[in-house]
Amino acid sequence: MSQYRTPPLEPVQISFDIESGSLSPTGPTLVRRAADLQGCFKNERSLAELIANGNPEIYRVVSSVVPETSRELPQSITTIRPGSVAGELFMTKGHQHPDPQGEIYFGLAGEGGVIMFDGINTSWVEVQVGKIAYIPPGWAHRSINTGTKDYKFLAVYPGSAGHDYQWVVNHGMGLRAYLEQGELKLKDFNLT
Ligand code: PA5
Ligand code: MN
C-alpha cells in the first residue's frame, strides 16, 4: 500500500474517482467495521448482533499522499455505507481536533450530514453533492449517512489538526441521528 509522502512535497495533481471513492496517487486506507464502533451507538445489543452477524464494514477513509503534518493540507475521501443500528444511522466515530483548526467536507455522492458539538452547543449541517459543510475550530464532528446509497465526501483539513477520539467518549456528540418512518430525526445524545 502506498503511504503518505515525506515533505517537502512537489506540486502534484490528485485525481479522485467518485464511483470507487479512491484517490490517485493514493495514501493509506482505513476501514472501520461494526466492531470498531463499539461505544458509538445507543443500542449496544443491536450493535453486538451486527458484529456477530458478519461484522460489516460501516465506513472507509482513503487518504491522499499528503501527510498529516504541520503546514500541509491533507485530504481524504470517506465512504459511509447506508444502514442503521436499531434505527440509529450509520456514522463515523467522530473526533475533536486537539489543535483547534477548521475543516471542510465537500459532498461527492449520496446524502449525509455532520453532527457538530462544541461541548455546549450542537449543530447539524446537511451535505449533499456539491455542498460544503464548514467545521469551525473547536467543534467535534461526526458524519452520518442519511440516505439509501453510499454517502461519500471529500475532507480537507490542516495537517497538524489531529484526531482526538477520546474527547467524544468523554463529552458525547450532543445529538444522535435516527431514521423514523423514512424521516431523519435528531435526538438528544443522552436519550433514555
Ligand atoms: O478528517 C476528518 O475529519 C475526516 O477525514 C474523518 O477522519 C473521517 O471522515 C472519518 O471519521 P473519524 O475520524 O471520526 O473516524
Ligand atoms: Mn476532522
* Cα 169 to averaged position of ligand 1 atoms, centre (Å): 15
**Rounded CA separation 115/124 (Å):** 5
* Cα 111 to averaged position of ligand 2 atoms, centre (Å): 19
* Cα 143 to averaged position of ligand 1 atoms, centre (Å): 8
Q: Does the beta carbon of 95 lie inside 6 Å of ligand 1?
A: yes
* Cα 101 to averaged position of ligand 2 atoms, centre (Å): 9
Ligand lying closest to the C-alpha of residue 136: 2
pLDDT computed for residue 69 by the predictor: 95
| DSSP state for residue 8 in the 8-state scheme | S
Written as tens digits, the pLDDT of the chain (192 aa) is 457 999 989 999 999 999 999 999 999 999 999 999 999 999 999 999 999 999 999 999 999 999 999 999 999 999 999 999 999 999 999 999 999 999 999 999 999 999 999 999 999 999 999 999 999 999 999 999 999 999 999 999 999 999 999 999 999 999 999 999 999 999 999 986
Q: Does the beta carbon of 21 lie inside 6 Å of ligand 1?
A: no
Query: Is-contact 16 48, C-beta < 8 A?
Result: no
pLDDT computed for residue 192 by the predictor: 67
By the 10 Å C-beta count (0-12 exposed, 13-18 middle, 19+ buried), 61 is classed as: middle
- pTM higher than 0.95 for the full model? yes
pLDDT computed for residue 1 by the predictor: 45
**Rounded CA separation 152/110 (Å):** 6
In this structure, the number of other CB atoms found within 10 A of the CB of residue 139 comes to 22
pLDDT computed for residue 132 by the predictor: 98
Residue nearest to atom 10 of ligand 1 (CA): 92
**Rounded CA separation 147/28 (Å):** 26
Spell out which residues have Cβ within 5 A of ligand 2, the ion: 103
pLDDT computed for residue 111 by the predictor: 98
